[in-house]
Each structure stands twice: as structure tokens, then as C-alpha cells.
Amino acid sequence: MASQIKEFQLACKLSDLRPNHPNTIEIDDRFVVVVLLNAQVFCLEDLCTHDGGTLGDGEMDGNCLVCPRHGAKFDVRTGEAMCMPATEPTLSHEVEVRGDEVFVRLRDTV
Ligand code: FES
């Protein structure tokens, strides 16, 4: 079955985001992590593909968000797993900034 294309939904205000800091936000009963990096906003599923850790509790290392449980790193721009123990990407969601508002369109598949 084809996955349904979702609408963009308001996630947060751009002015509330601290640069290089993960912000956990709930949208549609799902948790995502929004990061302001180099004046661009990115959004990942709040889920480490190694063992289900919450990425929003981690810290940034360059372009990567580091899982606080065992240290896997995910590129916030793509969701790609950059080091062990994670080997699979996490979901990367589409972001649109309109003025001071950040909108996210949730994906169900990578
Ligand atoms: S749960 Fe994230 S590195 Fe293990």
C-alpha cells in the first residue's frame, strides 16, 4: 500500500530554536527532533535505529546528532547513520520555514 502524503504541520517558532541544539516536538502523536544548523532547519524522527534511543536527548557533533545511549551519530540533514552501532538511517522529515514559523511534513518511510 502506498504511503499517504501528509500535509505540512506547524512544529515551532524559528525564534524559539537555539542553534545546534536538538528540540523535541510532538506532532500527530509522534516525536521529532528539530535542529537549527547553519541557519537551516532540519527535522529527524526522535528514534535511534540502533535500539530505539531518543535522539532529542542527545547532543550535536558537527552536522550529526549523537544518540545518548550508545553514541551512534545521525546526519541531521539526511537522517543517515554515520557510525556504529547504528547502520540504518532514521527518518528525515521535510521542513519549510515561513516567516517565524517552522512547518514539518512527516514521512512514514525513509
Ligand atoms: S540506542 Fe542509539 S546508539 Fe544504541
Q: Is 110 part of any domain?
A: no
Write out the three cell numbers for 82: 554515520
**Residue 20 domain-assigned (yes or no):** yes
Does ligand 1 lie within 6 Å of residue 58's CB atom? no
- Whether 82 maps to a domain, the answer reads yes
Asked if 103 and 97 touch (Cβ cutoff 8 Å), the reply is yes
**Spatial distance between the Cα atoms of 7 and 76, rounded to a whole number of angstroms:** 21
Q: Kindly state if the Cβ of 69 falls inside 6 Å of ligand 1.
A: yes
Q: Which atom of ligand 1 is nearest to the CA of 55?
A: 2
55-91 confidence digits (pLDDT tens): 999 999 999 999 999 999 999 999 999 999 999 999 9
Within a domain: 84: yes
Is residue 1 in some structural domain?
no
4 falls in which pLDDT band (50, 70, 90)? Answer: low
Say what the pLDDT of residue 110 is: 79
How open is the CA angle 65-102-76, to the nearest 5 degrees?
A: 15
Best probe residue, ligand 1, of 69, 73, 74, 90 (max atoms within 8 Å of C-beta): 69
In a domain, 79, yes or no: yes
- Spatial contact of 54 and 26, defined as CB atoms under 8 Å apart: no
Q: From the CB of 50, is ligand 1 less than 6 Å away?
A: yes
CATH classification of the domain holding 27: 2.102.10.10
Number of domains in the chain: 1
Q: What is the pLDDT of residue 3?
A: 57
Residue 98 φ/ψ, nearest 5 degrees = -120, 105
Domain with 67 in it: 9-105
Tens digits of per-residue pLDDT, 29-49? 999 999 999 999 999 999 999
pTM value is 0.94
C-alpha cell at 22: 536538538
